[in-house]
Amino acid sequence: MNTSYQHSDLTQLILKAFFNVYNKLGYGFLEKVYENAMRVEIAKFGLSCTAQQPIDVYYDTEKVGIYYADLVVNNCVIVELKAAIGLAPEHEAQLTNYLKATNIEVGLLLNFGREPQYKRKVFTNNRKNHL
C-alpha cells in the first residue's frame, strides 16, 4: 500500500473543514478558538474528533514526557493547529514527533495565519505497534 495516500479521503474532509473555518473566522484568533471551531466543523462531517488527546513519550521503556495533540480525528489522523505568521520547520518537527510517539501514521499541520497553510505528513516505520 502506498502510504502517501493513507487516509486521503479523511484528510480531504479535514482540509474542507479547515477552509470552512478559515473562510468564516479569518486570521487573528488564538489557536484555542480555531481548535473549538474545527471540532464543530469536523462534527458536521460525521467524524469523531478528540481535542487535547494526551500522547505519552517513551525513552526505551520509560515514560519521559507527555504531549497533547490539538485534535485527533477518527483515531487515525493527528491535526496540529497553528495561528502563526507562517509554518516553520519546528512546527513540522512537532507533528512528526507526535506521529513517532503514536501508532498514528498520518498528520495534518494547519495554520490559520494571514494566508491559510497546510502540510500533510506521513510517518511510518517498522517500530510502530500496529494493532
pLDDT in tens, 54-96: 988 888 888 999 999 999 999 999 999 999 999 999 999 999 9
* Single-letter amino acid, residue 33: V
* Single-letter amino acid, residue 22: Y
Q: Give the up-direction half-sphere exposure of residue 129: CA atoms within 13 A in the CB hemisphere.
A: 3
Residues 6+ apart with CB under 8 A from 89: none
What local confidence, expressed as pLDDT, does residue 131 receive? 37
Whether 13 has a pLDDT exceeding 60, the answer reads: yes
Mean pLDDT of 96-106: 92
User: What CA–CA distance (Å, rounded) separates 69 from 12?
Assistant: 19
Cell digits for 36?
473549538
Mean pLDDT of 14-35: 97
What local confidence, expressed as pLDDT, does residue 60 receive? 85
Whether 99 has a pLDDT exceeding 90, the answer reads: yes
**Could you tell me what percent of the chain has a pLDDT over 70?**
92
For the chain, domains (ranges, CATH) are 8-124 (3.90.320.10)
User: What CA–CA distance (Å, rounded) separates 5 from 24?
Assistant: 29
What local confidence, expressed as pLDDT, does residue 59 receive? 86
Phi-psi region of 125 (alpha: psi -120 to 50; beta: other; left: phi over 0): beta
